[in-house]
Amino acid sequence: MTEKRRFDNELATMLSLFKESGLKIDFGKVEEAGRVAYQILGEVCWESGGPIIFHSMEVAKIVALDIGLGTDSIVVALLHNVFESSTDKDELISAIPGKFGEQVSTLLEGLFKINSIDTVTISIHSENFRRLLLTLSGDLRVVLIKIADRLEDMRNLDGLPIELQQKYANETTYLYAPLAHRMGLYNIKTELEDTALKYLRPAEYAKIMKHLEDTVEERRSFVSVFVKPIEIKLASRDIRFEMKARTKSIHSIWNKMKKQRVGFEEVYDLFAIRIIIDSEPETEKSDCWQVYSIVTEEYQPNTERMRDWISIPKSNGYESLHTTVMGPNGKWVEVQIRTRRMDETAEKGLAAHWKYKGGKSSGGELDKWLAGIRELLENPAGDANEVIEEFKTNVYEDEIFVFTPKGDLKKLPAGATILDFAYDIHSDIGDKCVGGKVNQRKVGIKHKLKNGDQVIIETSNNQKPKIDWLDIVVTSKAKGRIKSNLNEAKRIEAENGKEIVKRKFKNWKIDYSDDHIRKLIAFFKFKSAQDLYYSVSTGAIDALQLKSVIRGEEDEAPKAKEVLGELLPKKVIENLSFDAGDEFLIIDKGLKNVNYKLAQCCNPIFGDPIFGFITIREGIKIHRLSCPNAKNMLERYPYRFIKTKWRETKNYNSFQASIHLEGSDRQGIIGDISYIIAKDVGVQMRSINVDSKNGVFNGTLRVFVNNLEHLEFLINKLKNIKGIQNVTRSDF
């Protein structure tokens, strides 16, 4: 058979299928599109050897029969590969808008844009993903046709090299299956996921498939026993129905085994029973609830697994009543109850709405979702990698439905908080949200909402977004707005840092140049100059570090006064004392001076070798050189260290010190310790903590002493107490 004769036969078969399915389409226009496609493509083949025209025809069948789109979409499916032909067909291609209309031309252009994007490195060069979703955010039919195109590709991967199979399978799992799910195309989503798993994890796929084949008779027998009493009751009440047992997809089983770390035998919900009833539009809901009543009369329901998507459908148009009941032999079984219209909508998604609503519906809820994706992607401050993660995660999430004080219904993803609700109402309200009331009960911004909650938002003009809010919200809109605000705050802080750098460079007589700034960015491993300036402004980088990096060598150890002059305002250091060369900060009896204080981590005492450390908020802290935190501070903030020494004097205030004692416990030992401290030495004791176990004594004293010599004298006295075996100074 010649390719032309084969094409004629395939075209006739396709048109016959469309007529048998009762599709209301322009058959003449569809046939003409098929012949134009063949005229342009002829016998052009894919690399695998298959003629492109037959691929296009299979895509057209999916578009029409599995998704339920109309004439223009079928025409586009037939023509969507015409750009694969040689350039001598340009005249025929340019005539397409005139033959089939601007709508077809627009849809073809959208598909061409998607196909022109190289997604081989999509996870690495995520800007490609941004461009792809921006394209998808246009006419929904472009998305649906592209999903049909990908489904046909996945059905014919066997002849391709392994690396191409992996590429297609990864993209499908990553993008097309989630999109199909979000649009309610559950059959297509399932086939895409299962086929992708077949090529990504062939051994695991084959193992699950074998298990399903081996247990098919067992499942069939159980279903027969389970459905029989329900069928009798439904028939007795003259309810017209169809019942199906739907086995869980291979991908779903694999996913459950992986998440719950169980074997195939431990996946108990391998199938669901679907009851599809013939119902008039005006009685759909009541008919479904009547069937629910019959099912739960026969079998005990699990009330926590009840799902009502009839009263409030999902945003992708899905309507169904789900319940889980205890079947024979103590097995839980999920039962799905829906009408014929609901079932077709569930199978074909939003496209089915066009059939039932006379072509007037455009999938408004999904339009809103895609518009939200567009808003997030078009935010110049947005991180495309985060957009990818949001997309992959959020498309599978359940929804909750909450109410405004006026009774308006709001749909939010499961896990949404008060803060998400505030941003959903308006960005400005979200920015100023301080909490709210849920069902008249006061709650904070972290409160997670539940179905049916009535929510009132409380705001304050003093409130503004904070970085930890990103851990509170789950919606893309809220996260995008918060990041935008935080980026603006960072920009303002960075401008301040830039002025600091310019001023410091001028004082040091260093040129403020691009070369110097690039050198600093490279040294500190920042992504941009803004990050550098921001770190300077917030104190994460000390000014003296910049000076050292630019000069390319370590300066001599700077004088204490110089370091303080760089890092602290002038008025803070006006009352500080320095030695003659300004090398050391002098610590004297004015220890109550707000400019510096003794560190509690090591409790320095007059006579201890010490250093000063400049903190961001608490001024100068004095530490012992042997402080356990000294090494870490020196490694992280070397430029905050200043040389420090005590002023020689005999009139120091008391210093707090801690002493650790160990020994053999005996009666009266605490009295002896107290006597030494209070009478013999005259030391003031702040506290004593004692622990005795199995005859071993451990104690900690906190006392006030005059200086290091005073402390050492006390320690020697304590060592002479009977039973005390070890006395040491403690850091805390």
Q: Per-residue b/e over 276-305, b at no fewer than 16 CB within 10 Å?
A: bbebeeeebeebbebbbebbeeebebeeee
Q: What are the pLDDT digits (tens) for 115-147?
A: 766 555 444 345 556 556 655 556 778 888 999
Indicate whether 42 and 175 sit together in one domain.
Answer: yes
pLDDT of 548 higher than 60? yes
Q: Residue range 674-703: average pLDDT? A: 79
Contacts of 5 (CB under 8 A, 6+ apart): none
Q: What is the pLDDT of residue 391?
A: 60
**Residue 80 DSSP label:** T
How far out from the chain centre does Cα 590 lie? 53
Residue with tokens 């709508």: 103
Report the pLDDT value the prediction gives residue 681, as an integer from 0 to 100.
60
Q: Give the rounded percent of residues in the chain with a pLDDT score beyond 90.
A: 27
Give per-residue pLDDT as tens, 200-250: 999 999 999 999 998 888 888 989 999 999 999 999 999 999 998 888 899
Q: Are residues 397 and 328 in the same domain?
A: no
CATH number (domain holding residue 292): 3.30.460.10
Is the Cβ–Cβ distance between 625 and 610 less than 8 Å?
Answer: yes
* pLDDT at 198 > cutoff 90: yes
pLDDT band at 78 (very low <50, low <70, confident <90, very high): very high
pLDDT of residue 460: 93
Instruction: Give the count of domains, the chain.
Output: 5
> The domain containing residue 236 runs over which residues?
215-349
Q: Is the pLDDT of residue 555 over 50?
A: no
Listed in order, strand segments (DSSP E) in 85-147 are none
**Per-residue pLDDT reduced to its tens digit, 561-601:** 555 655 555 555 555 666 655 556 777 655 444 467 788 88
Is residue 186 within 8 Å of 347, Cβ to Cβ? yes
Instruction: Please give the model's pTM, rounded to 2 decimal places.
Output: 0.55
On whether both 75 and 163 belong to a single domain, the answer is yes
Once rounded to an integer, what is the mean pLDDT over residues 76-98? 75
pLDDT number for residue 551 = 74
Cβ-contact 584, 610 below 8 angstroms: no
Per-residue confidence band for 378, with pLDDT thresholds at 50, 70 and 90: low
- Measured CA to CA in angstroms, residue 685 lies from 409, 650, 721, 729 at distances of 66, 21, 17, 15
Give the domain-ending residue among 198, 226, 256.
198
Q: What is the mean pLDDT of residues 455-470?
A: 92
DSSP H helix total and E strand total for the chain: 30, 20
Instruction: Tell me the CATH number at 462.
Output: 3.10.20.30
Residue 420 has pLDDT above 90, yes or no: yes
Q: Examine the fold and report which residue of 485, 513, 528 is the final residue of a domain before the chain moves on.
A: 485
Q: pLDDT grade, residue 554 (50/70/90)? A: very low
Q: Which sign, positive or negative, has the C-alpha torsion 120, 122, 127, 128?
A: positive
User: Is 512 a member of any domain?
Assistant: yes
In-domain check, residue 359? no
For residue 54, the model assigns a pLDDT of 92
The pLDDT, as a whole number, for residue 360 is 43
Which residues does residue 613 pair with via DSSP β-bridges, in sequence order? 621, 641
Q: Would you say residue 394 has pLDDT above 80?
A: no
Least confident range from 153-157, 450-454, 516-520: namely 450-454
Same domain, 526 and 668: no
Token code pair at residue 276: 């599809």
For 593, residues 6+ apart whose C-beta sits below 8 A from its C-beta are: 575
Q: Beta-strand (E) ranges in 280-383?
A: 301-308, 321-326, 332-339
Domain boundary, last residue among 464, 485, 506? 485
Q: Phi first, then psi: what are they for 474, rounded to 5°?
A: -125, -15
